[in-house]
Chain A
């Protein structure tokens, strides 16, 4: 964990809506090393995507980063001017989105979209850019890239499109890729292939990867470290084997129990009762306490982050 590509510390991204302040990301701290994969897990609305957007500086008004620091290769991003941040975006940090059907512009050819990505950051000729694109497509495992480059997105299957999207992310050889549930919309065989390829690519190139997902089985297979988020906060973080094998936060436990394969056949599936609380009315108290079977009186106070050897935990009454 020496050379951290990305260090996020105490990040708070709040949305100032008419109904009140929504704390989408609240005091989030983590780091990713070179060639490492960090899994960011949580339910819908837990702030995992917003964390990704914050790193890219793409939080739309009324949202705003109110506190914390994001350091990419030692450079502080939050105080960076717009222009400088834009130079990093797509160049040193790239993003892959959830729905491959939507991330490619349907009316532009693949080569147009890829060359555009290269030339937005590098002053190279069209043909030099095209060479890079071809190389990137080969790296993500697309056969006959020359033919594919001349195609339109609708001529590609979902898995192929996601590969193209990943190739676009890779084309500028970024230090960090943020992947926002990129395999959720794909079937499992394709998901497996893409996960495998991503893992390989990161190992080879030393690119750090943040993999945002709600699927803990993906994280189990792919990530080195995991952060579990709930209601804008990281509730548990640590090495992936530690956290998934011995969850200490009741929420992590609940998430793991909700994975169908872990349940005994014939028994009703385990579930976490209730719903994610509204982010508007979060006090200092633990946001999970109303759904938690282990809630105690002390949960009404803000649970601080407890650090043990390699584990961060935000719970006053953890599982042993």
Chain B
């Protein structure tokens, strides 16, 4: 009796899996508990960043709300006015929890926007290099090589020293150091895909060049790109934090996680650990969750690792 009820259920599941590639994708993703935990954490972090103005106990940018008397309170301590600072306050009397929510907002925004822009640029250049070949390919790839031969942090530092501070400037710097990764990834997979018969078949149908490149070639190059992009978001966030920590990234009025860490850095050894520790923890958890998700994506999307 039990068998009889189970078999149709399984057949249904199989049919559903054939019908929806997304469902198959989701079930493969869920195979790793760690990746699911990472995804949950990442979603929580993103939600916290998006809802920062709603859930923060205090607006850390509003100087009127700050009280210098509350400065450097330990986590869990209450202020004079009876408010509890769960993660303590920094040397200005700013609530660390609110600071972290707002900091995440900026860090994630800068990280993702620079990744998206770099992705778009790298994609177009990489596809052009692969499809046209010859001197176009040589030119684009040599520029990418030169770019990649410098450490990312060095290049970003030089750029920021020239451009100055600001959210737009740091996005420009991050895009400049990142596009080459995408260009290379896209080019290598596009060169493989270009040899396949469906591209030849599209040429036989006399489809236009842009159509072949963007409709046929591009979607087939996406899987490795998604993986690289997720890893690169983490890199971008880390790089931005590093630059802010060094005082070159975002202006002091827009504290990202890196800036928060550097604020407390000087008190770290005097027992006031929380000013640096909690933003650092937030940064660590963001990077960790993104990397866990990226790892699992790589396992799913890489045909060589497929069972």
Contacts and interface: CB of A to CB of B under 8 A. Distances in A.
Partners in one complex: yes
Interface of A: 56, 58, 86-87, 89-91, 94-95, 97-99, 102-108, 116-117, 120-121, 152, 155, 165, 168
B28 interface: no
Top 6 nearest A-B pairs (CB, nearest first) are A90-B205, A102-B197, A107-B219, A89-B206, A86-B206, A95-B204
Contact of B216 (A56, A108, A120): A108
A105 B206 contact: no
Given A106-B220, A108-B216, A168 B198 contact: no
Contacts of A108: 215-216, 219
A105 B220 contact: yes
16 contacts: A58-B203, A87-B206, A90-B205, A90-B206, A90-B207, A95-B204, A97-B197, A97-B201, A99-B197, A103-B197, A103-B200, A104-B198, A105-B198, A105-B216, A120-B205, A152-B21
A268 B263 CA distance: 85
Contact of A58 (B18, B204, B207): B204
Nearest to A85: B206
B23 interface: no
Contacts of B206: 86-87, 89-91, 120-121
Interface of B: 18, 21, 196-198, 200-208, 211, 215-216, 219-220
Interface centre among A95, A99, A105 (most CB of B within 10 A): A105
A107 B204 contact: no
A94 B204 contact: yes
A94 B205 CA distance: 7
A105 B204 CA distance: 14
Contacts of B196: 102
Given A107-B219, A108-B216, A120 B197 contact: no
A54 B220 CA distance: 28
Given A105-B216, A105-B220, A152-B21, A56 B198 contact: no
A159 B180 CA distance: 42
Nearest to A102: B197
B207 A120 contact: yes
B215 to A, nearest CB: 7
Contacts of A105: 198, 202, 216, 219-220
B205 A168 contact: yes
B201 A103 contact: yes
B166 to A, nearest CB: 39
Contacts of B205: 89-90, 94, 116-117, 120, 168
A165 B200 CA distance: 13
B21 A97 contact: no
A165 B203 CA distance: 14
Contacts of B220: 105-107
Nearest to B133: A61
A165 B201 CA distance: 9
Contacts of A58: 200, 203-204
B219 A90 contact: no
Nearest to B223: A107
Contacts of A95: 201, 204
A104 B197 CA distance: 8
Contact of B204 (A87, A90, A98, A102): A90
Contacts of B216: 105, 108
